[in-house]
């Protein structure tokens, strides 16, 4: 077995050269494509990364002086080169290559300082960012004032407010955790925001489908809220939104099965067939609806203007509902026995399937709950979660979305109900 320690420090110099070459290759490719002539290409970037590693290697004997002198000299050379570029060109010159040069030197320093993994990850991200120049600039050019407002609003909700909230219960019963409640608000807002971005980048049809899948893996209820509300604003897109809602509900099933597999694998024997029946029904309906849409209704030919993707009022209402259900769930568990498990699962399943799957599987794994009772509780929660989406769609969706989704959910519910009754009867 090869041990990298046998090749010290040569493998570090080699990694530095490769990282520099990767960045330089991207820069040189862009230069050739755009017909520009910057001062650094694949050879220069490779040597700059090597310079950083050599300076860091010498730092073991001479302290930070070699790194400081080398980096200062690099800054001086870069500044002179940039000044010369400004003199040769009439238009303004960017500093992307110059910043990339300084980063490349620092990546070389990181590799020599036992931070090779960080250097490699940052170098790959830097190369990707440089390579996406055209697409990123295109997205920015297509942004409106509303797009910027929504982006900043979501950043405020997710990156400013959420970290400030206490991650502990604040009520006497120990039920309400502000951080976890607001996390659901962020989740609802984030699904709406990500769907908006994906639809702009990929087109409404592909973007909505992808968001339905990813949103279902995170929270199918939140995805249903986002797209059902959007269907009222854009009724012509109801067929696409309906597919996303059904996809999201279907993706809830693999998530639940995975949680059960991790926490208590024997429980899969009880829940796998009813949940699989719901999954297959949902995917089958989605496939049918996808085939039903003709090319004339595709996002490439049907213009649609998407506005107000971030519905904070809807998201906050959802967070409040989630908090109330937590309180009801706790009281139900205290008041009833096995029936209480079913009631609590049905109640919690209305908004959070993860909580039911994890808690029931955990209790069953500790032999505190019969495996049959646990299986029934999880299936009940899945059925109730689907029923909650029917309610959401009925009150918030457009007429076309209501017809499509409710009919589809009735089929999914019947598939889960009858297969579940058959399996539990056999058991």
Residues 216-242: pLDDT tens digits? Answer: 766 677 778 878 888 888 888 888 889
Per-residue pLDDT band at 284 (split at 50, 70, 90): very high
Nearest to 322 by CA among 183, 228, 426, 420: 183
12 has a pLDDT exceeding 70: yes
Integer Cα distance of 411 and 77 in angstroms? 69
Average pLDDT over residues 297-301: 40
Q: Based on the domain organization, do 210 and 118 belong to the same domain?
A: no
Integer Cα distance of 68 and 217 in angstroms? 48
Nearest to 239 by CA among 191, 304, 188: 304
pTM, 2 dp: 0.56
CB-based contacts of 351: which residues, under 8 Å, 6+ apart?
221, 318, 321, 322, 325, 388
Strands (E), 192-342: none
Q: Based on the domain organization, do 289 and 337 belong to the same domain?
A: yes
Boundary of a domain, candidates 84, 114, 138:
138
Integer Cα distance of 329 and 95 in angstroms? 57
Q: Based on the domain organization, do 88 and 185 belong to the same domain?
A: no
Q: Do residues 427 and 270 make contact, with C-beta atoms less than 8 angstroms apart?
A: yes
Q: Based on the domain organization, do 396 and 359 belong to the same domain?
A: yes
Per-residue pLDDT band at 304 (split at 50, 70, 90): very low
What share of residues in the chain are helix, strand, coil (percent, to 5)?
85, 0, 15
Q: Residue 191: what are its φ and ψ, rounded to 5°?
A: -65, -45
Q: Based on the domain organization, do 168 and 235 belong to the same domain?
A: yes
At 353 the pLDDT is: 78
Average pLDDT over residues 199-211: 63
Cα-based angle 48, 49, 50 (whole degrees, multiple of 5): 90
At 368 the pLDDT is: 65
Average pLDDT over residues 116-138: 81
- Total number of residues shown for the chain: 427
Per-residue pLDDT band at 3 (split at 50, 70, 90): low
Q: Based on the domain organization, do 182 and 86 belong to the same domain?
A: no
Q: Based on the domain organization, do 73 and 164 belong to the same domain?
A: no
Which domain, by its residues, includes 71?
4-138
**Residue 128, token pair as written in the block:** 């990707």
Q: Based on the domain organization, do 149 and 127 belong to the same domain?
A: no
At 4 the pLDDT is: 54
Average pLDDT over residues 169-186: 74
Per-residue pLDDT band at 69 (split at 50, 70, 90): very high
Integer Cα distance of 224 and 218 in angstroms? 12
Integer Cα distance of 79 and 83 in angstroms? 6
For the ranges 133-137, 139-143, 324-328, 412-416, which has the lowest average pLDDT?
324-328
Q: Based on the domain organization, do 68 and 105 belong to the same domain?
A: yes
At 305 the pLDDT is: 43
At 335 the pLDDT is: 73
Torsion of CA 399, 414, 208, 163, to 10 degrees: 100
302 has a pLDDT exceeding 50: no
131 has a pLDDT exceeding 90: no
Q: Based on the domain organization, do 58 and 166 belong to the same domain?
A: no
Boundary of a domain, candidates 83, 115, 138:
138
At 184 the pLDDT is: 66
Domain total in the chain: 2
Torsion of CA 369, 372, 373, 376, to 10 degrees: 140
CB-based contacts of 409: which residues, under 8 Å, 6+ apart?
246, 249, 386, 387, 389, 390, 393
Integer Cα distance of 212 and 241 in angstroms? 9
Per-residue pLDDT band at 158 (split at 50, 70, 90): confident
At 205 the pLDDT is: 54
**Residue 249, token pair as written in the block:** 């509900």
pLDDT tens for residues 77-121? 888 877 776 666 545 666 778 888 899 999 999 998 878 888 888
Average pLDDT over residues 258-271: 86
Q: Based on the domain organization, do 412 and 283 belong to the same domain?
A: yes
245 has a pLDDT exceeding 50: yes
For the ranges 93-97, 168-172, 291-295, which has the lowest average pLDDT?
291-295
At 105 the pLDDT is: 93
pLDDT mean across residues, the chain: 78
Handedness of CA 264, 269, 274, 277 (dihedral sign): positive
Residue of 59 and 369 predicted with greater confidence: 59
Boundary of a domain, candidates 90, 121, 138:
138
Q: Based on the domain organization, do 90 and 161 belong to the same domain?
A: no
């Amino acid at each position: 077995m090869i041990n990298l320690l046998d090749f010290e420090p040569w493998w570090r110099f080699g990694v530095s050269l490769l990282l520099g070459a990767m960045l330089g290759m991207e820069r040189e490719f862009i230069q050739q494509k755009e017909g520009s002539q910057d001062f650094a290409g694949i050879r220069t970037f490779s040597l700059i990364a090597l310079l950083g590693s050599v300076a860091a290697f010498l730092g073991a004997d001479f302290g930070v002086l070699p790194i400081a002198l080398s980096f200062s000299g690099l800054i001086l050379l870069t500044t002179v080169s940039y000044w010369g570029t400004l003199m040769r060109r009439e238009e303004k010159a960017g500093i992307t290559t110059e910043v990339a040069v300084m980063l490349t030197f620092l990546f070389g320093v990181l590799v020599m300082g036992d931070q090779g993994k960080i250097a490699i990850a940052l170098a790959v991200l830097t190369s990707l960012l440089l390579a996406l120049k055209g697409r990123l600039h295109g997205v920015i050019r297509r942004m409106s004032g509303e797009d910027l407002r929504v982006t900043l609003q979501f950043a405020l909700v997710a990156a400013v407010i959420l970290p400030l909230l206490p991650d502990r219960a604040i009520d006497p019963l120990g039920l309400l955790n502000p951080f976890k409640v607001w996390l659901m608000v962020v989740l609802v807002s984030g699904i709406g925001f990500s769907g908006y971005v994906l639809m702009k980048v990929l087109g409404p049809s592909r973007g909505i489908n992808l968001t339905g899948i990813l949103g279902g893996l995170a929270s199918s209820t939140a995805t249903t809220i986002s797209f059902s509300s959007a269907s009222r604003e854009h009724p012509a897109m109801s067929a696409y939104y309906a597919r996303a809602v059904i996809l999201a509900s279907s993706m809830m099933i693999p998530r639940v099965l995975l949680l059960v597999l991790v926490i208590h694998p024997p429980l899969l024997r009880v829940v796998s067939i009813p949940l699989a029946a719901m999954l297959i029904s949902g995917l089958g309906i989605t496939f049918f609806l996808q085939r039903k849409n003709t090319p004339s209704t595709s996002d490439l030919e049907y213009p649609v203007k998407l506005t107000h993707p971030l519905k904070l009022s809807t998201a906050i209402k959802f967070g409040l509902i989630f908090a109330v259900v937590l309180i009801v769930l706790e009281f139900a568990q205290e008041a009833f026995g096995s029936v209480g498990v079913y009631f609590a699962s049905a109640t919690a399943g209305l908004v959070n399937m993860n909580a039911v799957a994890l808690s029931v599987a955990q209790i069953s794994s500790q032999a505190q709950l019969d495996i049959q009772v646990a299986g029934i509780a999880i299936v009940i929660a899945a059925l109730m979660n689907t029923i909650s989406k029917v309610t959401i769609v009925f009150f918030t969706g457009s007429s076309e979305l209501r017809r499509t989704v409710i009919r589809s959910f009735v089929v999914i519910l019947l598939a889960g109900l009858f297969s579940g009754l058959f399996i539990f009867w056999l058991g």
